[in-house]
Structure 1
């Protein structure tokens, strides 16, 4: 018995480890083909469009045929998430703050291209080779700090969670807007409406917010992507400010 025998089958498939050889003709279907077909459907129809019957049909097989290659729908989603994430870009690790900033924007770009990724249920910590590659990049960026492992993982998880939530929220808000209405106009209408509804005696600070110029700031012709980038950057800088405090404390 080898060490590989102790690796669960789902993890073996996730890492592309070869299955034990069988007698007979070579299989005409493999896990990579199943995952690629599922990702293609998700890119076209969203995560809700991915079902085992649809994946099987697109490949010209029956649903039962897929179970030889993926153990369940949940496992298929895990395989899809790892495959769709892809490999991280090369990022300069000389400056941890610039590095994590670039890492976050690179991950955000992936989720923006494939917003369905933000809806894949999280069934555990990163385990696939692509997910580990992104983790390795972030850890390499923080390697020159004196943060301990717990704080490094905490920073990584916080930034990743922020990226996923921001992309998902932007996607949902975009879907909820009236056709042809931009983000600047939506925010302006929201601010003006709530300014009339919020009672200063009951919600004094919120009333001050809606009476401020915050929701009047962006011109109507400001591209949605520009506003989204600014909003994302603001939140990311707040997170990095907090990490900086820990980095400085660890260095002292």
Structure 2
């Protein structure tokens, strides 16, 4: 007898069999549909993921996909969970040393977003539900196991860190796209930014921004400089410093 708490959507997300089927195995299943959708998204972004395109890639009719994904919204959830994949091992982390473990957890999420840039564009529809998302949540909580934080605080920490990773990636990605469209590298874009704002920023009205623009910071960046992880590292360290203060308190 099926568990009444398990919806069809949750059963598909966890790949639970609804019941034994007689005859030959189906040629199409949830994994094939979702992996095809992910391949399309990796190549062309979310706009490339349409039911007709998925069906064409699989050699089936669009209507046949609904047996395996339920709806386009459900497909987004399935794609997000499968794209996360299993959590990578945390190398060289001493048990109980929460900071390097949590830092690795954040950087592992950043690596996933870089492999699947469309992932951060999917809407957040609720707390983690899929097997991979739950696995990542479990590891995030585990990094804080030896601290004195209670459950609400632990959930708060991993939510803030995960949200930072997502937003930092989105911001960096948008800047990359903008620079690419203008055919500029990072240093050229920043120098152009400095020149434009210097022409309109009044030091009486915006004294600290004016001082920043006059500091020579943007001109000092060499043309050969490539976007790095310095900004991401700085933001992550700020958040982890805050976590450390809460733990110490």
TM-score tier, shorter chain, comes to: over 0.9
Root-mean-square deviation over aligned CA pairs: 1.5
Unaligned ranges ≥5, structure 1: none
| Residue 130, structure 1, aligned to residue 129, structure 2 | no
**Match in the other structure for 1:201:** 204
**Match in the other structure for 2:79:** 80
Q: Is the 8 A contact 2:96 2:145 kept in 1?
A: no
SS of the residue corresponding to residue 133 of structure 1 reads helix
Give TM-score, length-normalised by structure 1.
Answer: 0.92
Deviation readout 1:163-211 (Å, 9 max, x if unpaired) = 1111111111111114542112211221232122111122222222222
Indicate how the Cα distance of structure 1 residues 213 and 132 shifts in structure 2: closer, same or farther if over 3 A, else same.
Answer: farther
Report which stretch shifted further, 10-19 or 200-209.
200-209
- How far did 1:94 drift? 3.5
Match of 1:159 among 131, 139, 161: 161
Q: Is the 8 A contact 2:110 2:169 kept in 1?
A: yes
Unaligned ranges ≥5, structure 2: none
- How far did 1:133 drift? 1.1
Match of 2:110 among 86, 108, 111: 108
Indicate how the Cα distance of structure 1 residues 96 and 121 shifts in structure 2: closer, same or farther if over 3 A, else same.
Answer: same
- How far did 1:47 drift? 1.1
Q: Is the 8 A contact 2:29 2:68 kept in 1?
A: yes
- The count of corresponding residues between Structure 1 and Structure 2 is 245
Distance 1:67 1:114 in 2: 24
Distance 1:240 1:108 in 2: 16
Moved beyond 6 Å, runs of 4+:
none
